[in-house]
Structure 1
Amino acid sequence: MSDLLSDNTETNQAIPFRFTRLYVTLLIVLAALLTIGQILTQWRLSAVQDELWIIRYAALQRHQSQQIVKQALQLADPSERTNFTYNVAELRQVFPKFEKYHLQVRQGRVPDHDIAIPNSDSIQQLYNGIRPQFEAFQRSVRQLMTLQQPDEINQPVMQASLRLLLANEKPFLEKMDGIVREYTGELRTKLTRLQVIEFYLYGISIAVLIGIGVWIFRPAARKLRQTIAQLIEAESQTTAANRELLNVNKSLKETRQKLFEATKEQYERQIDEQKLRTSYLIAGQEDERKRLSRELHDGLGQMLTAIKLQIEGLEAGMKRSMAVPATGNEPVALPVYARNISNLKKLVTQTIQETRTISNNLMPTVLSDFGIVPALKMLAENDRSDQVDVTFETNLAAATPRWDKNVEIMLYRVAQEAVSNAVRHAYPSHVHIELIEREKFIHLLVTDDGRGFRLDEHRLTASTNGRIPSQGLHNMHERAKLLNGKLKITSVPGKGTKIQISIPYQMQSAHYDAN
């Protein structure tokens, strides 16, 4: 077989096929031998366990017979008269077990453990030889179990039963010892036979292993040495190529690293440029809001106030004219004009108030003068109405130092946009603004109990139409990114919306330009 495996004329496919077939065949033989040995061993061990139960019950007969004799002698002992009832009860309890076990073991059965093993002819002859002693036990003990009073033991019948019991005790014990020895000898013979079979199986298994070593591993080792020699030669040929490949790979890694760093630098630069453009855009928006606020307050507001004063002067003059009695036949229509002028004055007053509100929304003076906490408190008061209750809560002290200008403007604009969106679109009954400083972070939360919306639908609208579904939400997100903050929106239809923005910020005093 080794010559067959080392034949150089064989193809590369034939050698592995034959090698594998021989290896599998020997393994199957070895597995079959081990399986047979295991099955045989387990079967014999199970049989041995059953026989051990039989032997145990047989040996138990000696102990039970001695206990029966002991109880019978105590019945005849005058000093045990006080325990007469107990001794009779013990005798009536032990003897039925003794009788049952003896009859079962005689037939080779242990019903309590579902065991049935036929006795051999020699053991059956021993049981036939012990039958007279066992029957003598039965007659004498059954007679003694009829005792009712201690004095009845002195009757001739009871004394004869007691003598019969004592006369058969020793022969019964000797014959039961013989039965147990016979059981033990037969079991030892079976175990010896099992040892011989196991030894033969072990020898065959060793022979199979030797065959595997001689017919498989030795030719395989020879082939392996040849293959290793070829691999060493091939390795020496590929070492130089590997060095060249390593050098090329190193150059590629360096080039790729440089390209990655350049791409990363370009991307970071684009991000910074985008942030800078967005910052400039938002700063321009704030400046424009401030300019419009001043123009509305200083220009249009003053002109509207002047108009109101002129109307009030005209109204006062008309009232004075109404006090002079009319002459001639001219009709008096001054009351109608007075009502129109009064309505005009109310309209101008409302226009002045609306102009002030718009100016305050564009750039509230309380934000630039007093800071974010008073500004948010005034925002809640101004947006409160009969339909919507807007509340504000903070854990910041009233004397909190001013923060950075950009931080205060960003927080105010986010709160303003969130409250405006809630009032216009969610129809809530309550909006709660909360400003918290915790663990070097500033958290702004705007919560409403309105009708809410589905966030996935807004994302789907944005991806389908190619635009942002809510410009206000986009502005909040961009403002948060400029300060390295995080914007989180939680909304459930019918259960309201919660907008939370968190920015890292060290609580300290900061210069604020109010111009």
Structure 2
Amino acid sequence: MAANKSVSEVLNVTPQNNQPSASHFNRLFLTTLVFIAVLLTVAEIFTQFQIRREAERVMVIRMASAQRHQSQRLVSKVLLLSRPSEEARFQTHLTEIKKLFAQFEKNQLHIEQGTIPGYPVMLQNSDSVKMYYRDLRPSYFGFRTSMQRIIELAEQAKTPAEFNAELDLTSLLANEGPFLDKMDEVVKQYMRETVSNVENTRWLEFVIYLFTLLALVFAGWFILRPAVNKFEGIIVQLVEAETRTATTNRKLLSLNRALKETRQQLFDATRQQYEQKMDEQKLRTSYLVAGQEEERKRLSRELHDGIGQMLTAIKLQVESFEKSLSGREKEIKSFVVLKNLIAQTIQETRNVSNNLMPTVLSDFGLVPAVKMLADTHDKESDIDIIFHTNLSNTRLDKSVEIGVYRIAQEAVSNALRHAKPHQITIDLFEKDNYLHLIVNDDGKGFRIHRSRKEDTKRPSQGIHNMHERAALINGKFKISSAPDKGTKVQVSIPFKLAHQEYEYTQVDAG
């Protein structure tokens, strides 16, 4: 169909009525653009050249005007030399005169050559300006000769009283007026030439503007107008094709929308099923952990109330029997060994009972339990364990207290068994409605695998347990470590403390 043809194909077809083709329009359009570009380029180059010339001329004019001011300053300084009141500053005035006169001579040489010291300026003076400079030279040389004579006399004299240059001063004043008048003529001639050049530049830019405008009119009348007429038929065909395409697109959009809705429903159902499975698994795990904790609590109570009490009774009986063995050293030593063994067994039973379920956790809460965990391990090892907290003894949810305590217990136990640290720090604090537990050690650390390719071994059971316990109480678990950089275990649990006290305390278990 004609509507399916590209615009370029339609333009390249030669019409039956012998109208110009698209390639003809393209050639005319490119020719016009090149002509306009050349005009604008020539105008820009000429304008920049003129601007640079006039900028150089302005700099020369400023220096020429400065020469008039320099000559007047020189005359005023010379008059100060002969004043008795300026005797103390005679040498100062003489030094300033020599410096000003050297600058005056240098500037005069440069402006006659059309140059500026320190700037890349090379102005070609016109014949008129050169003529004014020729008329200026007698006055300039007379002024310069008088100044040179006055400087020589001043250098010979040591005080204003010894300085006598009346004739040279009269000659200096006589040449100053003509010099100033001639410099005014030079400046005026520069200004006249500047105005003339600006006017010529303005007319040239106006002529280029007219040519550019004519080129644009030509392009609009002989190129754009026929091209627009030719493109109108193509646009009509494209609009018809667009209408048909829009109808088809609406049908496709309707089908696509129905497909997206079906896919979204399938995705929602799959996600809901997955979340339901995860919730069921989490609930089963929670029940399992709760059962384990209850079993730990029961075993702890039985160890403490049953075996512990029985061992204590045995110890008391042994101590009582020991007292009846007076004078029998060998039997007494055996009873001492037996008594110490029973005492160690009682202490070990208490430790096992406390590890299974510390009574301080259920009786007093999380903060005292973690503090006791730090104190106990610190006494049993040579490693400093420091506990920081900003929490009061506010009781938390039972599952939160047990989960956080077990994670802290596992982290400290792992550090003591594997890391060989010098110090372990336990931080328990509330911030931004989160309960944070951070266990830091300065041990040997290990490399954490970041990808499945690196993870060739199953992660340690301790890390897995901590991760699972954090997930059960909706916490975020993070562990960071590196060889010889220590290990940091961090758990953050969303929780709002009631009646919280922001007092940061430090307990050093060492």
Name the TM-score, length of structure 2 as normaliser: 0.74
| Letter in structure 2 aligned against 1:47 | R
Q: Deviations over 1:421-469 (max 9, x none)?
A: 2222223344444443445433333333433333338x7798323x3x2
Aligned-residue offset at 1:278: 1.0
Q: 1:27 aligns with which of 16, 25, 33?
A: 33
Q: Deviations over 1:233-264 (max 9, x none)?
A: 12322332233223223322322332232123
Q: In structure 2, the residue corresponding to 1:451 is in which secondary structure? A: coil
Question: In structure 1, what is the Cα distance between the partners aligned to 2:103 and 2:350?
Answer: 112
Question: In structure 2, what is the Cα distance between the partners aligned to 1:316 and 1:163?
Answer: 140
Q: 1:48 aligns with which of 40, 45, 54?
A: 54
- CA gap 1:15/1:276 in 2 versus in 1, 3 angstroms: farther
Provide the residue aligned with 1:388 in structure 2.
383
| Letter in structure 1 aligned against 2:456 | T
Q: In structure 2, the residue corresponding to 1:49 is in which secondary structure? A: helix
Provide the residue aligned with 1:405 in structure 2.
398
Sequence identity percentage = 48
Question: In structure 2, what is the Cα distance between the partners aligned to 1:104 and 1:193?
Answer: 27
- CA gap 1:260/1:208 in 2 versus in 1, 3 angstroms: same
Aligned-residue offset at 1:282: 0.6
Provide the residue aligned with 2:415 in structure 1.
422
**Greater CA drift, 239-248 or 99-108:** 99-108
Provide the residue aligned with 2:502 in structure 1.
none
Provide the residue aligned with 1:9 in structure 2.
14
Aligned-residue offset at 1:204: 2.6
Name the TM-score, length of structure 1 as normaliser: 0.74
Kept in 1, the 8 Å contact 2:68–2:180? The answer is: yes
Q: In structure 2, the residue corresponding to 1:456 is in which secondary structure? A: coil
Q: Deviations over 1:311-337 (max 9, x none)?
A: 8899899x69x99xxxxxxxxxx968x
Q: Deviations over 1:336-392 (max 9, x none)?
A: 8x8777756654554444334323322233433443344334433433225234454
Aligned-residue offset at 1:276: 0.4
| Letter in structure 2 aligned against 1:231 | L
- CA gap 1:200/1:478 in 2 versus in 1, 3 angstroms: same
**Greater CA drift, 216-225 or 170-179:** 170-179
1:359 matched to 2:391:
no
Q: 2:285 aligns with which of 275, 278, 282?
A: 278
Provide the residue aligned with 2:45 in structure 1.
39
Q: In structure 2, the residue corresponding to 1:487 is in which secondary structure? A: strand
| Letter in structure 2 aligned against 1:50 | E
Kept in 1, the 8 Å contact 2:142–2:175? The answer is: yes
Question: In structure 2, what is the Cα distance between the partners aligned to 1:342 and 1:171?
Answer: 132
Q: 1:463 aligns with which of 440, 455, 461?
A: 455
Q: In structure 1, the residue corresponding to 2:443 is in which secondary structure? A: coil
Provide the residue aligned with 2:210 in structure 1.
203
Aligned-residue offset at 1:44: 1.9
Question: In structure 2, what is the Cα distance between the partners aligned to 1:389 and 1:153?
Answer: 96
**Greater CA drift, 433-442 or 229-238:** 433-442
Q: In structure 2, the residue corresponding to 1:443 is in which secondary structure? A: strand
Q: 1:231 aligns with which of 232, 238, 242?
A: 238
The count of corresponding residues between Structure 1 and Structure 2 is 479
- CA gap 1:374/1:201 in 2 versus in 1, 3 angstroms: closer
Provide the residue aligned with 1:240 in structure 2.
247
**Greater CA drift, 44-53 or 272-281:** 44-53
**Greater CA drift, 370-379 or 56-65:** 56-65
Kept in 1, the 8 Å contact 2:13–2:21? The answer is: no
Gaps of 5+ in 1: 324-333, 510-515
Provide the residue aligned with 1:329 in structure 2.
none
- CA gap 1:417/1:143 in 2 versus in 1, 3 angstroms: closer
**Greater CA drift, 405-414 or 134-143:** 134-143
Provide the residue aligned with 2:486 in structure 1.
496
Q: 1:478 aligns with which of 461, 465, 468?
A: 468
Question: In structure 2, what is the Cα distance between the partners aligned to 1:388 and 1:66?
Answer: 92
Q: In structure 2, the residue corresponding to 1:225 is in which secondary structure? A: helix
Q: In structure 2, the residue corresponding to 1:446 is in which secondary structure? A: strand
Question: In structure 2, what is the Cα distance between the partners aligned to 1:460 and 1:120?
Answer: 85
- CA radius of gyration, larger in: 1
- CA gap 1:72/1:271 in 2 versus in 1, 3 angstroms: closer
Q: How does 1:442-457 map to 2 (within 5 A)?
A: 442-456=435-449
**Greater CA drift, 349-358 or 88-97:** 88-97
Q: In structure 1, the residue corresponding to 2:455 is in which secondary structure? A: helix
**Greater CA drift, 427-436 or 480-489:** 427-436
